[in-house]
Homo-oligomer: A and B are copies of this chain.
Amino acid sequence: MILTVTLNTALDITYRVKALRPHASHRVTDVTERPGGKGLNVARVLAALGHEVTVTGFAGGATGRTLQDQLLGATGISDALVPVSGSTRRTVAVVDSSTGDTTQLNEPGPLVSAEEWTAFQEAYEHLLDSASAVALCGSLPPGVPVGAYATLVRAARTASVPVLLDTSGEPLRRGIAARPDIVKPNADELAELTGSHEPLQAMKDARRRGAHAVVASLGAKGLRALTPDGTWQAPAPDRLEGNPTGAGDSAVAGLLSGYVEHLPWPQRLARAVALSAATVVAPVAGEFDAATYERLVREVRVTDQISAA
């Protein structure tokens, strides 16, 4: 199975309102909620692609119970979340029906104790025994050491399990030094990590810092990959309109599924770009449109050089 780690899981709530006006009272016309956090999104896409996936991370309190109840209904996903005494955070996305714009409110997440972090590491190392690959995704909840991802990358390497890291800021800086197989930063994360706003230079720097392969998601410019086997770019399809929420997570699922299926890099990148685009155009945030994916994965033209930005 593929293991995805989401230390800061969330119950993602979406509210639709007629028009959002600060300091007014609003009747919510539509409510949806689903398990969230980047690693859970990756898991959902991997499961849709036919992979067996196990999710771990933390879950606690009433929102944690709700999240786990909803995971029970998800085909192909095994729940190996570790209990925490605090409450799993909620995120609230308020969609303004008049403009289509979204206002996001993110709770900080539960405070994780040293004992809970230790319990998680033990569970994680046990899960690695049966994992073909692992994705470490998203932010760290309060209480988890900033070097957490470095620790988890090292454990995966010790267990000879390929590891993909998708995070930002100091957790990325620390984690990359532990030599993950793949990192997938976006342009902002790359610039924050390296100080360079020139993607190719920044990607080279990221490899020097420890990543074996760097796949940068550059929004409308698509994906660029700097790997031990070569360099590639996979342009994003033209004229994409929709909601980019979860597009990066779908790209991670594409890369990781291609990795465990031993696809060559160009096919992994084509899959990642097609899944990402199919997520943008899907009517529900974070889902992907299967027909769009099937069409695009054949159309994407991956080239084996990276032009200057």
Interface residues of A (CB under 8 A from B): 15, 17, 20-29, 31, 62-63, 65-66, 69, 92, 94, 96, 99, 101-108
Q: Is there contact, CB below 8 Å, between B62 and A103?
A: no
Q: Is there contact, CB below 8 Å, between B23 and A105?
A: no
Question: Cα distance A21–B29 when bound, in Å?
Answer: 21
Assembly stoichiometry (copies): 2
Q: Is there contact, CB below 8 Å, between A106 and B25?
A: yes
Which residues of chain B are near A102, meaning CB under 8 Å? 23
Q: Is there contact, CB below 8 Å, between A26 and B65?
A: no
Which residues of chain B are near A17, meaning CB under 8 Å? 105
Question: Cα distance A59–B83 when bound, in Å?
Answer: 26
A152 CB → nearest B CB, Å = 24
In chain B, what residue has the closest Cβ to A70? Answer: B62
Which residues of chain B are near A103, meaning CB under 8 Å? 20-26
Question: Cα distance A99–B22 when bound, in Å?
Answer: 11
Which residues of chain B are near A66, meaning CB under 8 Å? 62
Q: Is there contact, CB below 8 Å, between B62 and A105?
A: no
Q: Is there contact, CB below 8 Å, between B28 and A107?
A: yes
In chain B, what residue has the closest Cβ to A31? Answer: B107
A157 CB → nearest B CB, Å = 32
In chain B, what residue has the closest Cβ to A19? Answer: B22
Q: Is there contact, CB below 8 Å, between A106 and B22?
A: no
A91 CB → nearest B CB, Å = 9
Which residues of chain B are near A23, meaning CB under 8 Å? 96, 99, 101-103
Q: Which of these, B28, B65, B99, contacts A105 with CB under 8 Å?
A: B28
Which residues of chain B are near A26, meaning CB under 8 Å? 103-106
In chain B, what residue has the closest Cβ to A100? Answer: B23
